[in-house]
Amino acid sequence: MSKVNEEHSVGRTATVVQVRESLVLVQVDEQASIKKNEVGYVCVGDERLKAEVLRIRGRTADMQVFEDTSGVRVGDRVEMTDEMLSATLGPGMLGRVFDGLQNPLHALAEAHGFFLPRGVSAPPLDLDRQWQFTPVAKVGSKVPPGGVLGTVPEGPLTHKILVPFNEPEPVVVNWLAEGTLTLNDPVARIQTGDTEREVTMVQRWPVRRPVPAPLLRRRYAERLYSQEPLTTGTRIIDTFFPIATGGTGCIPGPFGAGKTVLQSTLARYADVDVVVVVACGERAGEVVETITMYPETKDPHTGGTLMDRTIIICNTSSMPVAAREASIYMGITLAEYYRQMGLNVLLIADSTSRWAQAMRETSGRMEEIPGEEAFPAYLDSSIKSVYERAGVIQCPDTSQGSLTMIGTVSPAGGNFEEPVTQSTLGTVKTFLGLSYDRAYKRFYPAIDPLISWSRYLDQLEPWLSKNLDANWVADVKRLHELLRQGDTINQMMQVTGEEGITLEDYVIWQKSVLVDMAYLQQDAFDEVDACMPRERQLESLRLLNRLVDRDYGFSDRDEAREFFTKVIGLYKNWNYSASDSEDYQRYKNELEQAVSPADAVPSDAG
């Protein structure tokens, strides 16, 4: 945490001995050493191309270059930095768009235009911006690694300035600053043993190493069991397939199934403090839409814009493969940093399929033994190591922070049997499978309730029973079984027609359609229906249960069809009505009358 400086020291050099597209083989001197994941710069004229060591064999090493390698030749010099690929962590990251190496894209565009030249970089944070630093620790006190020295306001949040994570033991605070400071100004002097040094608001951390890892070994922070659900405002997720706060989930689906809209809905309405969006390989058009939409989207939590509490890591499919592979680690590291402050963070990775394809390309160039569909043999362990960085932690100041990770998967042709999807399914605990058939029918969100699942439903039962309803989990499982029964009956009707099933089965099918169309479907573009609070979800679910449980005694299929068509229309209008409106109460009364005609409140009761 010395002064921020993007120019790294160069003490050792290597020489390029082979070039294979974005992979170069370098050789170091006999006296020199080299480390895995160390960063170096391949010198091509006046250009310095950033690269990372992937594999070491004696005096040679394979390095992936994060730029186009045109013009790189055997004999070119490589400057080694003795540093790992790291993230610069400090105030000023919210509201910014970075590439996979944490270069601020807006700053690069202003300096070099929209077509970025090769080998350019910029400081990740604004070094001239001033921050109002307020000390929290006391002079003479001992503060553990990750402990709080002071705070600065950052947008809607209070940004905690932390003791460097790599300190071997608690440090003694000898001096603290106060007032308006820049990122290069010292904010404290800390002492470990006989060594005293100054620290600033900024620290660096290797992106491939989990931030809490050293803290856990020394018990300065503790990983906790996820006990509360993440509230997203999307009924099918919150009710049927919940994701725990600090948990993991995946959204696989074919092209056109609504992944981008669902991601945007989660980012906007999920009950979190910070959102990190990692566009690791998606099409540039979709990424541009995200970048332009977020600053114009109102944040329902803070009243500002959604971008005020969002970080976007942008590496589209047209950017270098190596940078795409690094981008997801960069995003996770930034998310972990905010989690260490006791904040709730949501990380959305779009899409992990493109990230895995980047690994496949690099592995092929390294001539490694391929696994299934030419993906590297370590694909499964790589995916697990990424999702395992999610979780809830107890911070040194007793606050709790969480990192919830949701990755989207783009299997070719919607084939969920391909390796990336299968490895992801073996890792995450919530699977939200998008269906092209449901999207084609305009059933949005197109999460298929018959293939999706959540292992958190039983895990979160104590919280759901205490805070919502004692029968919440049992009711959800019963409705889920009704959907399965309805699907089976529907398949029979495809063969025999309506006349080929009994009236009882026909009513069961109509009840399943009611659950699907009235509760599972939700309009992401409607101001009211886009997000439903848990209290209203509980009210809606209780009424839905009563509609499903009622014995109607229909005389024929036409009467049943007419009744359920009317109820579905009322239910959808109720979903679109604001809770404090007259329409809300009017539609609710009409639905109550459909449940208990004799005892219901008149529909004009207002």
Which residues contribute to the annotated binding site for ATP? 253-260
Q: Which of 332, 347, 330, 207 is nearest to 277 (CA)?
A: 347
Nearest alpha carbon to residue 511 among 586, 470, 503: 503
Type of residue at 304: G
Which alpha helices (DSSP H) does 256-313 contain, by range? 259-269, 284-293
- Beta pairing partners, 203: 89
- Residue 401 contacts residue 389 (beta carbons within 8 Å): no
CA angle (209, 210, 215) in 5-degree steps: 115
Cα dist. 521→219, 377, 438, 581 in Å? 45, 39, 10, 22
Contact indicator for 171, 190 with CB cutoff of 8 Å:
yes
β-strand pairing of 274-280 with 86-89 = unpaired
Closest CA to 542 of 489, 476, 498: 476
Contact criterion met (CB below 8 Å) for 347 and 335: yes
Query: Which of 590-595's residues contact partners 24+ apart within 8 Å by CB, and which partners?
Result: 591/543, 591/547, 591/567, 592/543, 594/547, 594/563, 594/566, 594/567, 594/570, 595/543, 595/546, 595/547, 595/550
Binding-site residues, please? 253-260
Among 210, 209, 215, 213, CA closest to 85:
209
The neighbouring-strand residues paired with 453 are 431
Q: How many CB atoms lie within 10 A of CB 398?
A: 7
C-alpha span between 414 and 457 (Å, rounded): 26
- Would you call 239 helix, strand, or coil by DSSP? helix
- Taking residue 593's Cβ as centre, other Cβ atoms within 10 Å add up to 16
Backbone region of residue 256 per phi and psi (left: phi > 0; alpha: psi in -120 to 50; beta: other values): left
Amino acid at 117: P
Burial of 578 by CB count in 10 Å (0-12 exposed, 13-18 middle, 19+ buried)? exposed
CB 101 within 8 A of CB 119: no
Q: How many CA atoms, within 13 angstroms, populate the side-chain half-sphere of residue 477? A: 10
CA distance 134 to 334: 23
Alpha carbon distance 220, 146 (integer Å): 8
Q: Please name the residue that has the structure tokens 């949701």.
A: 406
User: What does the block give as tokens for 41?
Assistant: 């710069």
Cβ atoms of 237 and 447 closer than 8 Å: yes
CA 509 – CA 490 distance, rounded (Å) = 7
